[in-house]
């Protein structure tokens, strides 16, 4: 009988720790709903002790999801565990996930504790967590660099104390697949009560080996994979959900395992994460990148036309990428729009549909055909950014090689209209100077990139920015047929994310 791998998604927790990838509560709730539709078994909703905003988001997600286990991360401290339980206690299937570092380098320089003290803290934390729920996960941070016998000892103690899952993280992406598989086999062989718990792995991608390490660990005995959509996360990111799931799906002859993931929702979920975080998916990203199913070489094109399987090991439809896209226009009705959005993975309320339909009609008047990428941009702007502090109301720019660029702007700030004008070195600089003055912000523009959402001269321009202010970083994203307007939207989106971070400061971690 084929064994099932538990898919533990941490996009909302570890993924959000990508620089600038902060999400507000409504964005997290919408993404959590999509992740449940995707079929993840466990959803790590956040770190409730980190901030009041995180606590609120985790609590709302816990109360909303019906089929998915919702877990909250916490350190091995009673206050952390209480915060975690307070946020998830009303979930249909609540799980507490507690962790402590176990490598000697972390013990010496970060925790300033010896092994016995760490062991005692782990036992006490798991025991207390188990008194609150029968779903408890224990993680040994930096497990791949820990002494393997101490690792087995602390796992044995955690399971004895009530842990139902023990997690072996490659926290800094240091492991090599063969080495990591051997470590998993050692833990399975030398932890006497390991059969009473699920062994999980959580790999980072610092050497580009996160997916390879995860698959090697599964082959060696791990039965839970901790992953994120698009592989986002701290530093070089985490193991990519879509890569692990499609590896299992595509190579059952070698990896005889299944998952509960509904693969047709992979691509829509990937796009949603990109829209919410403002982090674009690199074109050559495996499975979900723009070039994943593109063929330019003549020999490849000829082979694909004769039989797609000559150069494609997966059908694009399997991940929800519809290659025969329905093109909508200004004569398309509300029913057609709703039906197409549902096919794309978006179940909108009547109010949300009306909002998007109005924006759709405005866009259809500007360009002949509206395609999926355009609709995703409308959803990002119309729904995901619907509760912002700052909003663009009006923009007029004068520019050219014989005039000094000037931008005249009217904005809504907390529902109050304000307007002003500024000069700049170019039209976008003028726009940004005017917005900064009106909002009273002083952010540093770290990155600015622009690309076309689709082909054609009438394509919408998509602008992505990264801003920094007072040590906080945020991504911003905007799309519009006018690239200057798209630039303004991206800047304002980034400022709104900074405002959210200011209002929800993180609690300093030890």
Q: What is the pLDDT of residues 174-201, one digit of tens each?
A: 999 999 999 999 999 999 999 999 999 9
* CA distances, 173 to each of 7, 169, 230, 382, 393 (Å): 19, 9, 17, 38, 45
Q: What is the pLDDT of residues 23-76, one digit of tens each?
A: 888 889 999 999 999 999 999 999 999 989 899 999 999 999 999 999 999 999
Run of H or E including 501:
helix 483-503
Beta strands in 212-292 (DSSP E): 224-227, 257-258
Least confident of 135-149, 241-255, 293-307: 293-307
Higher per-residue pLDDT: 272 or 183: 183
Give yes or no on whether 3-277 and 387-503 have one common fold. Answer: no
Collapsing DSSP states into helix, strand and coil, what is residue 60? helix
- Using CA atoms of 435, 439, 444, 448 in order, give the dihedral in degrees to the nearest 10: -40
Least confident of 85-94, 193-202, 464-473: 464-473
Burial 406-432 (b: 16+ CB within 10 A, else e): bbbbbbeeeeeebeebbebeebbbbbb
Nearest to 477 by CA among 446, 450, 445: 450
Domain spanning 3-277: which superfamily? Aldolase class I (3.20.20.70)
Q: How confident is the model at residue 304 (pLDDT cuts 50, 70, 90)?
A: very low
Burial degree of 262 (CB within 10 A; 0-12, 13-18, 19+):
middle
The domain limits of the chain are 3-277, 325-386, 387-503
- Cα 90 from Cα 98, distance rounded (Å): 18
Helices (H), 323-459: 334-343, 350-366, 372-379, 427-439
Fold of 387-503: Double Stranded RNA Binding Domain (3.30.160)
Residue count (the chain): 510
């Amino acid at each position: 009988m084929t064994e099932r791998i538990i898919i533990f998604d941490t996009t909302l927790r570890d993924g959000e720790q990508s620089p600038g990838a902060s999400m507000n509560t409504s964005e997290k709730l919408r993404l959590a709903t999509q992740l449940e539709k995707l079929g993840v078994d466990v959803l790590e909703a956040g770190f409730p002790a980190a901030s009041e905003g995180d606590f609120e988001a985790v609590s709302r997600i816990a109360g909303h999801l019906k089929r998915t286990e919702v877990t909250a991360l916490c350190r091995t401290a009673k206050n952390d565990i209480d915060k975690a339980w307070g946020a998830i206690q009303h979930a249909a299937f609540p799980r507490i996930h507690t962790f402590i570092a176990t490598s000697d380098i972390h013990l010496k320089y970060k925790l300033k504790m010896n092994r016995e003290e760490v062991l005692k803290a782990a036992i006490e934390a798991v025991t207390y967590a188990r008194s609150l729920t029968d779903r408890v996960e224990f993680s040994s941070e930096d497990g791949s660099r820990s002494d393997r016998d101490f690792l087995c000892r602390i796992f044995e103690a955690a399971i004895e104390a009530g842990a139902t899952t023990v997690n072996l993280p490659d926290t800094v992406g240091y492991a090599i697949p063969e080495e990591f598989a051997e470590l998993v086999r050692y833990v399975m062989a030398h932890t006497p009560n390991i059969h009473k718990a699920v062994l999980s792995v959580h790999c980072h991608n610092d050497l580009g080996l996160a997916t390879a390490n995860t698959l090697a660990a599964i082959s060696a005995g791990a039965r839970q994979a901790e992953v994120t959509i698009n592989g986002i996360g701290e530093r070089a990111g985490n193991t990519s959900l879509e890569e692990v799931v499609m590896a299992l799906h595509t190579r059952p002859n070698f990896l005889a395992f299944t998952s509960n993931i509904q693969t047709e929702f992979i691509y829509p979920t990937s796009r949603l994460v990109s829209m919410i975080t403002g982090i674009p998916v690199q074109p050559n990203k495996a499975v979900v990148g723009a070039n994943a199913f593109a063929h330019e070489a003549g020999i490849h094109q000829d082979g694909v036309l004769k039989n797609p399987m000559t150069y494609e090991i997966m059908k694009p439809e399997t991940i929800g990428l519809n290659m025969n896209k329905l093109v909508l226009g200004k004569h398309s009705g509300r029913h057609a729009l709703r039906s197409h959005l549902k096919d794309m993975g978006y179940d909108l309320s009547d109010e949300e549909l009306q909002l998007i339909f109005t924006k759709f009609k405005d866009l259809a008047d500007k360009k002949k055909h509206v395609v999926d990428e355009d609709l995703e941009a409308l959803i990002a702007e119309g729904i995901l950014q619907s509760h912002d502090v700052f909003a663009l109301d009006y923009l007029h720019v004068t520019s050219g090689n014989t005039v000094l660029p000037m931008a005249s702007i009217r904005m809504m700030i907390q529902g109050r209209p304000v307007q002003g004008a500024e000069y700049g070195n170019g039209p976008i600089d003028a726009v940004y100077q005017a917005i900064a003055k009106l909002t009273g912000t002083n952010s540093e523009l770290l990155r600015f990139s622009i690309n076309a959402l689709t082909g054609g001269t009438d394509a919408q321009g998509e602008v992505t920015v990264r801003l920094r202010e007072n040590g906080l970083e945020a991504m911003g994203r905007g799309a519009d047929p006018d690239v200057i307007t798209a630039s303004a939207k991206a800047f304002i989106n980034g400022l709104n994310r900074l405002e959210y971070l200011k209002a929800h400061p993180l609690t300093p971690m030890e």
